[in-house]
Each structure stands twice: as C-alpha cells, then as structure tokens.
Amino acid sequence: MTFTHWENRSVVVTGGTRGIGLGIAELFARQGAAVLLTGRDGEAAREVAEGLARETGGRVAGMGVDLRSPEAIEGMAAEAVRRHGAVDVLCANAGIFPEKPLREMTADDVDEVLDVNLRGSILAVRACLPAMERAGRGRIVLTSSITGPTTGYAGWSHYGASKAGQVGFLRGAALELAPHGITVNAVLPGNVRTEGLVGLGEEYLSGMRASIPLGRLGETADIAHAVLFLASDEAAFITGQTLTVDGGQTLPECLDAMAPPLA
Ligand code: NAP
C-alpha cells in the first residue's frame, strides 16, 4: 500500500480565505501540498495565504477570484499551473448562504446564490479540466451541504436548490471525467462553526447544537479531513459520491429519537 505524496500535488481551494475553505487549505498545506487559495479580494487572499504559509511552513499562494466571473475562474486555473505546474486537486468550496423567505425572494436573490454556489462550482471544474486531462488524473471535491441534497430549511430554499444542484452536477461530471482518471465527489457538511455560520446568531447555533447527536457543532477540520481523503490516491475508486459530515444530524426522525445527553 502506498500513500499519497502530497508534496508533489497542486491544490486549488475556492473560498479559502476563511471558514471551511481555510480549514481545507491549512490541512493540505500541512501535508506538504502546494496550495492556491482564493477569495473575492486579491489583497485579502494573499494576506491569508502568507499567514498560512508562515504558520504551516507550507507553500501557499492567494488570489482574488470572484466566482461570478468566468474570466476570473479561468485565470485561477492558469495561475495554479503557472505557480505550481499542475492542478491535481480542485476543492470547489466557496459559497454563500443568505437567508431569504420565498415570498420576498427576487430574481436577483436567486441569481446571486445560484451564480456563486452552482455556476461558480461548475465553471471552476471546467477551468481546471485541461490541466487534469493533460496529467491523466485529478480529484475534484465540491463542498455541498446537507441542506438541499438531504434536508430542507425554511428561508434557505434557493440555497438548498444550489447545493442539491451541485450533487446533480457531480453525478454527470463523474461519468464524463472517469475515462480521464478524474474523480468528482462532494462533502455534505452539517453545521460547522465558521464565521459565516456564527453570523446567523446564538439562537440558531444553540438550536443546531441540540439537534446534533454527537453534541457539538462541526469544526472546519472535520470537513477538511473528509475532503483530504476524497482527494487522496487512496480514494481512487470513489467517484460520483457524497460524504455526509454532520455529527449524525440527519439521522434522527425527531428530537425524541435521540438519546438524552449524558448527565
Ligand atoms: P464562510 O465562512 O462565509 O466563507 C465563505 C468563503 O467563500 C469565503 O472564503 C469567501 O471569500 C468565499 N466567497 C464568498 N462569495 C464569493 C464569491 N462571489 N466569489 C468567490 N469567493 C466567494 O462560509 P463557510 O461556512 O466556510 O462555507 C463554505 C462552504 O461550505 C460553502 O459552500 C457553504 O455553502 C458550505 N457549507 C457550510 C456549512 C456551515 O455550517 N458553515 C454547512 C454546509 C455547507 P471572501 O469573503 O474572501 O470573498
């Protein structure tokens, strides 16, 4: 059995400036991979990358890539190849989750969420394909969500549609890219303690905590380890799949189905 030589791998992480993406970028950097992380603002992304490089001793670069711009996304793949010689792994992670009741939802609200979360993911995959096809291998890991593919949440219907859309996309993409040795999978995080989630307020967080059988919110490292596995050589025979990482949140039929917390 051989294990992935991360020091020979080039990894792109969208939405790597904070939250889950930063956790993913950090884990890959600690394994020795060369990482390109992105966020909307170039200066902020470079600052985060420099900090991460100092902290981990790894090779980390940052770049401004707004996922609403197809040209910027093409530039991201080109930059990874220019800097690190390849794109071995794409973590299409960036996403937004604004709350909006359906009755108040405008066409612009729908476009914004679908553009960043769904169209942005698809275009990021497309942009990285030439490099992966040249290498004859590649790993694509999308950050979807339990919301949409598995559950629903009032106020986040457009978000759920974007996240379920990612899973629909990955099944077709996995079939199309299998002959090139490229796998496409997704992680489905439950509620993970990130800046974005904390912004939803303490009431939201404590309600969520109470509905997670393992008794805590997820940490970014919980998601990053699942992504690292799906991106590894060891996961070579897994494609078109989703991996739920939610502390068991989607298991119980109702709160009474859960064991009471230990005294
Ligand atoms: P977060 O803390 O809000 O971070 C979001 C990241 O996406 C940031 O790095 C942000 O970068 C980037 N981003 C936002 N809009 C962008 C755009 N237009 N173009 C490029 N990048 C953009 O979010 P998070 O909680 O880590 O969530 C990350 C992913 O996990 C999302 O896809 C989300 O749907 C999914 N997820 C999260 C949870 C959770 O509980 N946290 C649960 C399920 C799924 P800048 O601000 O620097 O532009």
Cα 160 to Cα 53: distance, rounded to the nearest angstrom: 34
Confirm or reject: Cβ of 114 under 6 Å from ligand 1. Answer: no
Residue 4 CB–ligand 1 contact under 6 Å:
no
Residue 248, phi-psi category: left (phi > 0), alpha (psi -120 to 50), beta (remainder): left
How far away, in angstroms, is 256 Cα from ligand 1 center? 32
Instruction: Using the structure block, give the residue that is written with the tokens 């969420």.
Output: 113
Residue nearest atom 45 of ligand 1, based on CA coordinates: 39
Confidence of residue 260 (pLDDT cuts 50, 70, 90): confident
CA distance 243 to 189: 8
Residue of 24, 40, 65 to mutate, ligand 1, most atoms within 8 A of C-beta: 40
What gap in Å lies between CA 201 and CA 255, rounded to an integer?
A: 21
pLDDT above 90: residue 197: no
The token pair that represents 106 in the structure block:
């405008």
Rounded CA separation 96/99 (Å): 10
Q: Report the distance separating Cα 92 and Cα 113, nearest Å.
A: 15
Decide if 204 is catalytic. no
Who wins on pLDDT, 207 or 141? Answer: 141
Which of the four pLDDT bands, split at 50, 70 and 90, describes residue 45?
very high
Tell me the pLDDT tens digit for each residue of 132-177: 999 999 999 999 999 999 999 999 999 999 999 999 999 999 999 9
Cα distance between residue 46 and residue 68, in whole Å: 20
Angstrom distances, CA of residue 64 to CA of 39, 42, 119, 120, 193: 5, 3, 18, 14, 24
Q: Is 32 left (phi over 0), alpha (psi -120 to 50) or beta?
A: left
pLDDT in tens, 47-81: 999 999 999 999 999 999 999 999 999 999 999 99
Q: What integer pLDDT is reported at residue 199 of this predicted model?
A: 87
For domain 6-243, the CATH class is alpha beta
Higher pLDDT, 124 or 198: 124
Confidence grade of residue 255 (pLDDT, cut at 50, 70, 90): confident
Domain ranges for the chain = 6-243
31 and 11 in contact (C-beta within 8 Å)? no
Q: How far is the CA of 45 from the centre of ligand 1 (A)?
A: 13
Q: How confident is the model at residue 1 (pLDDT cuts 50, 70, 90)?
A: low
| Residue 225, pLDDT above cutoff 90 | yes
Task: Reduce the secondary structure of the chain to three states and give it as a string.
Answer: CCCCCHHHCEEEEECCCCHHHHHHHHHHHHHCCEEEEEECCHHHHHHHHHHHHHHHCCEEEEEECCCCCHHHHHHHHHHHHHHHCCCCEEEECCCCCCCCCHHHCCHHHHHHHHHHHHHHHHHHHHHHHHHHHHHCCEEEEEECCCECCCECCCCCHHHHHHHHHHHHHHHHHHHHHHHHCEEEEEEEECCECCHHHHCCCHHHHHHHHHCCCCCCCECHHHHHHHHHHHCCHHHCCCCCCEEEECCCCCCCCCHHHCCCCCC
Query: Averaged over 205-213, what is the pLDDT?
Result: 92
Atom of ligand 1 nearest to the CA of 16: 9
The one catalytic residue in 159, 184, 191, 217 is 159
> How does pLDDT run across 103-140, given as a tens digit for each residue?
999 999 999 999 999 999 999 999 999 999 999 999 99
Q: What is the pLDDT of residue 2?
A: 66
The tokens for 37 are: 């992380």
Determine whether the shortest distance from the Cβ of 189 to ligand 1 is under 6 A.
yes
Q: How many angstroms is it from 166 CA to the middle of ligand 1?
A: 15
Average pLDDT, integer, range 222-231: 98
pLDDT tens digits, residue range 17-43?
A: 999 999 999 999 999 999 999 999 999
User: Does ligand 1 come within 6 angstroms of the Cβ of 19?
Assistant: yes
pLDDT score, position 35: 98
